[in-house]
């Protein structure tokens, strides 16, 4: 037996003990758990739903050109590292080198990469994933395939029924409302079936875990949504309630898109204190939606704790508004810096996206921390907003509720960070033209004690 098979120690019980299987082990080409798409690719085709239009991401055509230039600049010592395959990198050092030289992350677990590497070293050709010679595995695959066929059949009948119902006159199916309700429930069922057809496919699971899932397909969107809801969204929800975002800025908030906030290279988890020097530049946003189709969104950054010492209370301030930004499940990045640069080039003021440019978040010395909330607001029916109109919005005393009502927006994503006085704040404020505010310090107000009761003779 070839030594590489020993890697599957746990599965050895499953190995079919027939002579034919042993022959295939010794002679036949082998390819363990390779992630290259083979015949499985047709399995993931969605027969019923047309895939939403996916504009090719701008990064892909640029990548080879970058790689060429990088190859030219690669120093000599880096070239000595030799060929580094992201699917077969086994050692920590090589992983590090791969990230450093090629800028790619290794794929999958180190254990799997090791197995692939060893089997490649042995010169063994790899068995396609479907033909792995384990009896249990093969039997299980049969069951799963059967189930899938069943689901495909159901999908076909369901689409047929939906088409029939659509063709039917409203008089036959009751009323227009009844027909619509039925259609809606049928479509929901169809979507469920589409998920169920793929959800047990081991290749789908593997591709999702390797980060190779195609977000145009419903199954990968579903898996990503589940993953988000299991950890990141819970934390976000906690921060929304703990930091009182919900009654202070909005009456209710149900985030349905994953928003990653960061400044330059620094990622910011929701609610983190950000150094004022870091937040001087605009943040970058990554918004992952889990619904198909494109969306136009507005990004608003609001400071919810602007102190008003005259009134002994707080007010709001708007730090940033950008509108008409296109996002889709495949197009997740909102690079505000780049959007700003593009805005500068466009002559037409109405075509610009940034309505209110970024002002630095700042806080007085001694004042309580400021919550800076970043909202991603979905525009109604993906209609573009009039940026010239939004530009009239006043920064001070900005009420997010009325802004949302006025422009018919729907909050889909949320993130926040906090800011307070720090060592670099004075410099940041000076550069932002707030030199007078540096000199203002906040101190606790003395609370007058209640007047004592006059002590009577009896009390003494």
Q: Which residues bind another protein (CB under 8 A)?
A: 77, 80, 244, 246-249, 251-252, 307-309, 312-314, 364-368, 426, 438-445, 447-450
Nearer to another protein, 8 or 81 (CB): 81
Q: How far is the CB of 75 from another protein (least distance, A)?
A: 9
β-sheet with 266-268: strand ranges across: 266-268, 257-263, 284-289, 333-334
Q: How far is the CB of 445 from another protein (least distance, A)?
A: 5
Q: How many residues does the chain have?
A: 460
Nearer to another protein, 154 or 422 (CB): 422
Angle at 263 between CA 258 and CA 267, to 5 degrees: 55
List the one residue out of 380, 378, 379, 360 whose CA is nearest residue 370. 360
Nearer to another protein, 56 or 449 (CB): 449
Q: How far is the CB of 229 from another protein (least distance, A)?
A: 24
Nearer to another protein, 51 or 366 (CB): 366
Write b or e for each residue in 155-178: b if 16 or more Cβ atoms lie within 10 A of its Cβ, otherwise e: beebbeebeeeeeeeeeeeeeeee
Q: How far is the CB of 436 from another protein (least distance, A)?
A: 12
Torsion-angle region of residue 397: left (phi > 0), alpha (psi -120 to 50) or beta?
left
Nearer to another protein, 13 or 445 (CB): 445
Q: How far is the CB of 292 from another protein (least distance, A)?
A: 31
Q: How far is the CB of 392 from another protein (least distance, A)?
A: 23
Which residues does residue 409 pair with via DSSP β-bridges, in sequence order? 379
The label of the residue with tokens 């999908």 reads 155
Nearer to another protein, 193 or 240 (CB): 240
SS3 label, residue 299: strand
The CB density around residue 72, as the number of other CB atoms within 10 Å, is 7
Q: How far is the CB of 39 from another protein (least distance, A)?
A: 43
Nearer to another protein, 210 or 248 (CB): 248
Q: How far is the CB of 80 from another protein (least distance, A)?
A: 6
How far is residue 244's CA from residue 371's CA, in Å, rounded to a whole number? 10
Tokens of 20: 């034919």
**Cα–Cα distances in Å, from 447 out to 160, 347, 364, 443?**
75, 56, 22, 12
Quote the DSSP letter at residue 454: P
Q: How far is the CB of 9 from another protein (least distance, A)?
A: 37
Nearer to another protein, 392 or 444 (CB): 444
Quote the DSSP letter at residue 445: P
The label of the residue with tokens 């396609």 reads 128
* Mode of pairing for the β-strands spanning 370-379 and 313-327: unpaired
Nearer to another protein, 348 or 436 (CB): 436
How far is residue 443's CA from residue 441's CA, in Å, rounded to a whole number? 7
β-sheet with 409-419: strand ranges across: 272-273, 409-419, 370-379, 295-308, 313-327, 354-356
How far is residue 398's CA from residue 147's CA, in Å, rounded to a whole number? 55
Q: How far is the CB of 429 from another protein (least distance, A)?
A: 10
The label of the residue with tokens 């080039």 reads 345
Q: How far is the CB of 314 from another protein (least distance, A)?
A: 6
Nearer to another protein, 45 or 313 (CB): 313
Nearer to another protein, 77 or 231 (CB): 77
Cα 443 → chain centroid: 41
Tokens of 95: 């992983």
């Amino acid at each position: 037996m070839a030594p590489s098979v020993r890697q599957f120690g746990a599965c050895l019980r499953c190995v079919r003990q027939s002579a034919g299987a042993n022959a295939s082990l010794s002679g036949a080409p082998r390819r363990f758990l390779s992630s290259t798409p083979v015949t499985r690719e047709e399995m993931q085709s969605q027969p019923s739903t047309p895939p939403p239009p996916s504009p090719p991401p701008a990064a892909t055509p640029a990548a080879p050109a970058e790689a060429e230039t990088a190859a030219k600049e690669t120093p000599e010592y880096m070239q000595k590292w030799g060929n580094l395959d992201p699917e077969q990198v086994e050692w920590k050092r090589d992983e590090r080198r791969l990230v450093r030289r090629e800028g790619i992350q290794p794929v999958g677990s180190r254990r799997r990469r090791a197995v692939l590497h060893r089997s490649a070293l042995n010169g063994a050709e790899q068995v396609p994933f479907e033909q792995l010679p384990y009896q249990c595995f093969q039997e299980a695959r049969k069951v799963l395939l059967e189930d899938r066929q069943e689901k495909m059949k159901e999908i076909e009948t369901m689409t047929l029924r939906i088409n029939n119902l659509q063709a039917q006159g409203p008089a036959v199916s009751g009323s227009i409302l009844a027909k619509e309700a039925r259609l809606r429930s049928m479509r929901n069922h169809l979507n469920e079936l589409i998920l169920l057809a793929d959800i047990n496919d081991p290749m789908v699971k593997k591709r999702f875990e390797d980060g190779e899932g195609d977000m145009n397909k419903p199954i990968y969107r579903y898996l990503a949504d589940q993953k988000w809801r299991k950890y990141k969204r819970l934390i976000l929800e906690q921060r929304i309630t703990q930091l009182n975002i919900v009654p202070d800025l909005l009456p209710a908030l149900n985030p349905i898109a994953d928003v990653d906030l960061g400044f330059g290279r620094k990622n910011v988890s929701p609610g983190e204190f950000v150094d004022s020097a870091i937040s001087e530049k605009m943040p970058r946003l990554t918004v992952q939606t889990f619904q198909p189709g494109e969306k136009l969104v507005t990004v608003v950054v609001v400071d919810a704790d602007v102190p008003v010492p005259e009134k002994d209370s707080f007010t709001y301030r708007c730090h940033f508004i950008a509108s008409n930004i296109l996002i889709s499940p495949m197009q997740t990045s909102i690079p505000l810096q780049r959007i700003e640069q593009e805005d500068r080039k466009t002559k037409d003021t109405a075509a610009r996206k940034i309505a209110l440019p970024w002002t630095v978040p700042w806080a007085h010395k001694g004042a309580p921390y400021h919550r800076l909330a970043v909202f991603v607001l979905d525009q109604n029916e993906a209609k573009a907003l009039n940026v010239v109109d939004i530009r009239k919005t006043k920064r001070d005393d900005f009420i997010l509720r009325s802004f949302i009502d006025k422009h018919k927006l729907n909050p889909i994503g949320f993130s926040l960070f906090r800011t307070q006085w720090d060592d670099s704040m004075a410099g940041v404020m000076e550069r932002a033209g707030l030199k007078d505010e540096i000199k203002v310090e906040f101190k606790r107000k003395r609370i007058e004690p209640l007047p004592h009761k006059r002590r009577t003779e009896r009390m003494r």
